Amino acid sequence: MSGNEIWIGNDHGGYQLKLEIFEFLHKKGIAVNDVGTGSTEIVRYPYFAQKVASAVSEGRAARGILICSTGIGMSIIANKFKGVRASLCTSTFMSKMTRAHNDSNILVLGGKITGVLEALDILDAWLSTKYEGGRHAISLGLIREAEEALCNPAGWQPADPTK
C-alpha cells in the first residue's frame, strides 16, 4: 500500500467529477488507484463502493474517495465495512471537521449536487486537515468497540457484474 495513493470509486453519476478530481490529484503529485466506472453508462454503485471500502477496511488503502450522484448511497454502503469512516461532505467545513474529529478515511461526494470548484475545495481541505485525537479518540474507540460486536468478519464479496 502506498501511503500517498488514494483509491477512487464512482458510478455513472460521479464520472465527470472523478475526471476533475484526477487532474487535481495529479497536479498535487498524489497517485490514484481508479476502481470506478469509466463512463456515464448506468451501473450499480455498491460494486464500486465495495472496492474502495474493502481496500480501506483491509489496510490495502489508507484513504479513498467515493462519488455517486448524491453521495448518499455510497456513504451508506461504505460505512458497513469495519474500520471505514466514510463521510459525505457538502462543504469545506464538513470535510475539515470529519478529518479533525472523526479521522475520516473515505471522502464521499455527490457528483450531481456539488459543483466542481466546491468539490475540489472540499477535497483539498480533507487532504490537508489532520486528525486531532485527544477527546475525539474516545468516540472513535466506542465506534471500534461497536464494530467488533456488530460486524461480520467474513465481509461482503459481491459477484463481478461484468461476468
Q: What confidence score (pLDDT) does residue 111 get?
A: 97
**125 CA to centre of own chain:** 14
Task: List Cβ neighbours of 152 (8 Å cut-off, separation of 6 or more).
Answer: none
Residues assigned a catalytic role: 101
**Which of the four pLDDT bands, split at 50, 70 and 90, describes residue 108?**
very high
Structurally, the chain folds into a number of domains equal to: 1
Q: Report residue 45 as a C-alpha cell.
A: 454503485
Q: Is residue 131 part of a domain?
A: yes
Q: Residue 78's domain is classified under what CATH number?
A: 3.40.1400.10
Which range has the worst mean pLDDT, 1-15, 39-53, 96-110, 121-135? 1-15
Q: Is residue 160 part of a domain?
A: no
Residue length, the chain? 163
Backbone angles phi, psi at 93, to 5 degrees: -60, -45
Q: Is residue 157 part of a domain?
A: no
Backbone angles phi, psi at 20, to 5 degrees: -65, -40
**Which of the four pLDDT bands, split at 50, 70 and 90, describes residue 1?**
very low
Q: What pTM did the predictor assign?
A: 0.90
Q: Is residue 79 part of a domain?
A: yes
Rounded to whole angstroms, the Cα distance separating 53 from 66 reads 9
Q: Is residue 155 part of a domain?
A: no
Rounded to whole angstroms, the Cα distance separating 27 from 24 reads 5
Q: Is residue 158 part of a domain?
A: no
Q: Report residue 56 as a C-alpha cell.
A: 480501506
The DSSP H or E segment spanning 151 is none
Q: Report residue 69 as a C-alpha cell.
A: 450522484
Q: Is residue 105 part of a domain?
A: yes
Q: What confidence score (pLDDT) does residue 2 get?
A: 46
**Which of the four pLDDT bands, split at 50, 70 and 90, describes residue 161?**
low
Structural domain harbouring 95? 6-150
Rounded to whole angstroms, the Cα distance separating 86 from 54 reads 12
Q: Is residue 120 part of a domain?
A: yes
Rounded to whole angstroms, the Cα distance separating 86 from 65 reads 9
